[in-house]
């Protein structure tokens, strides 16, 4: 297949690119700036996902469109908002696919996405999903949990804290559960879906085999780094709700109230996706041991 891929230069996008190329697909990759060196099997298309005129004509001739574009935090001053990059970008991608006559469409969403979500992030992801479901295209939607891999943001951030600080701040009691999944496993599901007509019209929640509390996740990372158990300082949610709104407007501050809401409400699923895709996901400890070093 020839696949038009948006968001393919990011963390998960890198894993998906390798998986698709391994399976013999050709890629047309939407980028802000063309790569200096060519990549076998990849054609780079310069454009802006929020400006359809810059790329829409390049979707023609493709067999499928994959949209991975997303942000975890808003910076309105830079034009980086959930409404802009989740909802409007999805609308643009869908329209480009329709104009080019491309029927197959895959969308990256997020575990916890629902219409009545506490976080703006999840609500915007649901709005994007609704656009996909109403598009009339042969779509598949994926909702991964926290994704880990060599270039991930979250696990590497926690590892950096554990390496450099004697005590790690924890929001609340740290007993909320998470179910991280490997980036290679997410990429494999996307690639397999292209070959599986039974995935059309379906939404899959993707999570790994480990259901860990946040405290357990920190200790697992600490174990890899030779610092387990990790000393923790639990910060009451009430105090966080007073302090964070004052500081989250500054880019140097590491967390927002939206992120706190997503973290503390838990991020787990039943693993039913394995019944369709027929493979066992990677466990968290051996997975992070491949790229975290003491």
Q: Is the peptide bond before 128 cis (omega within 30 degrees of 0)?
A: no
Between 258 and 90, the more confident residue is: 90
What per-residue confidence (pLDDT) applies to 37? 67
pLDDT at residue 92 greater than cutoff 90: yes
Per CATH, domain 2-147+181-206+270-281 is 3.40.50.720: yes
What are the residues whose beta carbons fall under 8 Å from the beta carbon of 20, sequence distance 6 or more? 3, 5, 27, 187, 190, 191
What per-residue confidence (pLDDT) applies to 252? 67
Per domain, the residue ranges of the chain are 2-147+181-206+270-281
The CB density around residue 255, as the number of other CB atoms within 10 Å, is 15
Is residue 229 very low, low, confident or very high in pLDDT (cuts 50, 70, 90)? Answer: very high
Is residue 80 very low, low, confident or very high in pLDDT (cuts 50, 70, 90)? Answer: confident
Whole-structure pTM value: 0.93
């Amino acid at each position: 297949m020839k696949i038009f891929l948006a968001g393919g230069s990011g963390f998960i996008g890198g894993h998906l690119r390798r998986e698709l190329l391994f399976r013999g697909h050709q890629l047309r990759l939407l980028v802000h700036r063309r790569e200096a060196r060519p990549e076998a099997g990849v054609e780079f298309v310069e454009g802006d996902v929020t400006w359809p005129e810059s790329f829409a004509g390049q979707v023609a001739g493709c067999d499928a469109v994959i949209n991975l574009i997303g942000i975890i935090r808003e910076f309105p001053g830079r034009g980086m908002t959930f409404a802009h990059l989740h909802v409007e970008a999805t609308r643009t991608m869908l329209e480009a696919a329709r104009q080019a006559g491309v029927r197959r469409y895959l969308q990256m969403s997020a575990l916890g996405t629902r219409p009545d979500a506490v976080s703006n992030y999840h609500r915007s992801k649901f709005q994007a999903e609704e656009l996909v479901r109403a598009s009339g295209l042969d779509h598949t939607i994926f909702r991964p949990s926290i994704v880990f891999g060599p270039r991930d943001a979250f696990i590497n951030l926690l590892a950096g804290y554990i390496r450099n600080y004697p005590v790690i701040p924890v929001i609340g009691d740290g007993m909320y559960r998470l179910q991280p999944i490997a980036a290679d496993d997410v990429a494999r599901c996307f690639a397999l879906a292209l070959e599986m007509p039974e995935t059309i019209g379906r939404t899959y929640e993707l999570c790994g085999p480990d259901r860990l509390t946040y405290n357990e996740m920190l200790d697992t990372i600490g174990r890899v780094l030779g610092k387990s158990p990790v000393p923790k300082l639990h910060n009451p949610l009430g105090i966080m709700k007073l302090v964070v709104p004052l500081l989250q407007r500054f880019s140097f501050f590491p967390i927002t109230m939206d992120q706190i809401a997503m973290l503390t409400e838990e991020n787990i699923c039943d693993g039913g996706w394995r019944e369709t895709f027929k493979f066992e996901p990677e466990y968290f400890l051996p997975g992070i041991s491949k790229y975290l070093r003491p």
